[in-house]
Structure 1
């Protein structure tokens, strides 16, 4: 991370996170459902990772991609939620620059990484349904390695300038962030410098990354829906639709939350600030809690793997 310009008189070295500025008196009550969701997300993702690691029947490309999604969810939760709960429980509102801007980087890069992972998983389903005979030769372990490198490298490189630009701004007076997180839409506003470049890059990068993933997902689903009626094997069409159906629900849920957050930020003068803050926090918590549960419930092989894991423990 680039060093912050703190050599000027009055420069700051930390911020203060003020969660829910209009409802300070009851925010500790909100910590209960947030902590429960956090524990649920961590336990569900850890169980899924352990099951895929120990169950040899799950050592396949699709489940490796699912493991990557769980790892991204765990890192995202650990980066965001513990600090939010520390503010609620212990009034630890101060966050240093060395913690704030890395948090900003992870939030801005890992959410697009999840979107990109969904896109790669949808490509896996497209090949399995539309080109089943070629699936074993296309979707192999090397494909997963290359896809993982692409997911991490693309989104890390595109997202890195956002916290770098923000860290190079001169923060000379204001240090109160009316948010629970070092959100890139809030931190640069405290600067004494012109932040037009920050806003422009963030807007362009966000729309290019997320939009390209969603467009490719939509194209894959179009080909899948076109190919399903031509599947002749008994029950195969229904199974294909079922598998893609719940996968599409997760993508739709993830995209809807992301879109709501973007729209509420655009119309923030019409939306109460506390609602905007709550949506931003839930954006980093609900999908990580929901994704592994849906896959565990809907995937027979994973359910069997969890049962085998429990039997080993007993």
Structure 2
């Protein structure tokens, strides 16, 4: 079967419909989209700049923070520019190759983002449970290797998704009811058998979300056990304060993802535009909040950021 039921002169394209039902409000919706994107870019680039410039911040924790900032920048950039083109210029067409490329990079970066949060949880575990061995266990080189493992995992897990979609036939309906090439939204418009695609999507969801959250939960379980063994309340507070920023980032990252996944699969009565707005929010809000959270909660970074802001 041909991949597309089109005449030879027709370009193989999809149509991204934006947010169906809210077309009249697209201009207004673009305001928070562009605002969140600009704040995210400024905040994350500031972190990258300050960490790069300050030799005292060349430590595993801040290397992880740079990885997080890079994934935040990449994740929003995969989605927002095209979404704004839809909202502002009604530029809804996207080539099939462009759609699959966007999907691959978006989900690979999202998987890498989750891997960075797991490594951060391990970093906090070592800092609290093995403080005397921290410098020997977590070196910059070892953090870089863990980051590389997370990147390889992300690529290997996500690469089959666009390849499996490539084999599907797409007939008359080429309209994707979304602002970006979300996997299930593309699967839904296929006129072929999508069982394998849907099953693989479940596998990815389990491996990336459930497994990563389990590893993070295990790290924090060990942290809590170690903290409870400390008799000093001041030491309790100091130990928990080192985890505050990471816990806040996890809540802003995983809460909207889990809510979106659950409403997508079980909230059949929820309007389509609500699903789409939620799917966009979990790509926009965490990258905007993460640099703010770490800027406020991490004293070393806050002091260095303040120094550079005062020079402006």
Q: Which has the higher contact order (CA 8 A, sep 6+)?
A: 1
Q: 1:60 to 1:226 in 2, by over 3 A?
A: same
Counterparts of residues 208-223 of structure 1 (less than 5 Å): 208-223=207-222
Large movers: runs of 4+ above 2 Å: 5-12, 229-237, 307-311
Q: Distance in 2 between matches of 1:239 and 1:141?
A: 24
Counterparts of residues 122-201 of structure 1 (less than 5 Å): 122-201=121-200
Q: Distance in 2 between matches of 1:214 and 1:177?
A: 30
| Deviation digits for residues 200-240 of structure 1 (CA, Å, limit 9, x no counterpart) | 01111211221111111111111111111334678443122
Long gaps (5+) in structure 1 = none
**Structure 2 counterpart of 1:250:** 249
Q: Distance in 2 between matches of 1:290 and 1:121?
A: 17
Q: 1:9 to 1:25 in 2, by over 3 A?
A: closer
How far is 1:10 from its partner?
A: 4.8
How far is 1:309 from its partner?
A: 2.3
Long gaps (5+) in structure 2 = none
Q: Distance in 2 between matches of 1:298 and 1:208?
A: 30
Give the SS at the match of 1:16: strand
**Structure 2 counterpart of 1:48:** 47
How far is 1:9 from its partner?
A: 5.3
TM-score (norm 1): 0.94
Q: Distance in 2 between matches of 1:51 and 1:246?
A: 18
Structure whose residues are more often helix by fraction: 2
| Deviation digits for residues 140-168 of structure 1 (CA, Å, limit 9, x no counterpart) | 01211111111100011011111111122
The 8 Å contact of residues 13 and 96 in structure 2, kept in 1 or not, is answered as yes
**Structure 1 counterpart of 2:120:** 121
Give the SS at the match of 1:123: helix
Q: Distance in 2 between matches of 1:244 and 1:94?
A: 44
The 8 Å contact of residues 100 and 162 in structure 2, kept in 1 or not, is answered as yes
